[in-house]
Amino acid sequence: MLSAFSLRSHRPPAETALYAISFNSTWSAETHPAADFPANAHYSRMHGGTHNGNVTFWQAGELASAGIESMAETGGYGLLKDEIEAAITAGTADQFLLGDNLGSSTGAIDFSSVTVDHNFPIVNFGHYGRTQPRLVCGRPQPVAAG
């Protein structure tokens, strides 16, 4: 499977940055021939949030939160949304992001504007892909703001 995320700044203000986030997939039976290519290959809605380093939902080498685990196993975003909303209430997150569903294995999912600032410099997002083994894509690292 081939997929890519991109973060692109629309303007370079001193305190905030506005990003467009795009997930582009070319994963298909034609590009990745295999006898076990899923008949109903697709992706869930992309979702996540912006937060600071005082809360972690997932990172390399660590256990993921229950919301990330649920998203990876089922594609559901309810538990992750609850976790991010609790972090917003606690002052460690700023916004919950919910994108479109990609009902096939090819195409794009886009967020046209995600605001990141010095208080919440981490963009955490992902989605479920109907793959074996399950695949979660995302970017839990801080991005530039200002």
pLDDT digits (tens, 9 = 90+) for 13-35: 458 888 888 888 888 888 888 77
What would the pLDDT profile of 65-119 be if each residue is shown by its tens digit? Answer: 899 888 888 888 899 999 999 999 999 999 998 888 777 888 888 887 888 888 8
Given a cut of 60, whether residue 4 has pLDDT beyond it is: no
- In the sheet that holds 122-129, the strands lie side by side as 93-98, 47-51, 122-129, 135-138
Portion of the chain with pLDDT greater than 70, in percent = 79
Token duo for residue 126: 């992902």
pLDDT score of 86: 97
Give the pLDDT confidence score for residue 140 in this predicted structure.
55
CA 5, 11, 16, 18 dihedral sign is negative
Half-sphere exposure of 10 (CA within 13 A, CB side): 11
- What gap in Å lies between CA 108 and CA 3, rounded to an integer? 10
Domains within the chain, CATH numbers bracketed: 3-138 (2.60.40.2130)
Report the chain's mean pLDDT, rounded to a whole number: 78
Distance CA 46, CA 126 (A): 6
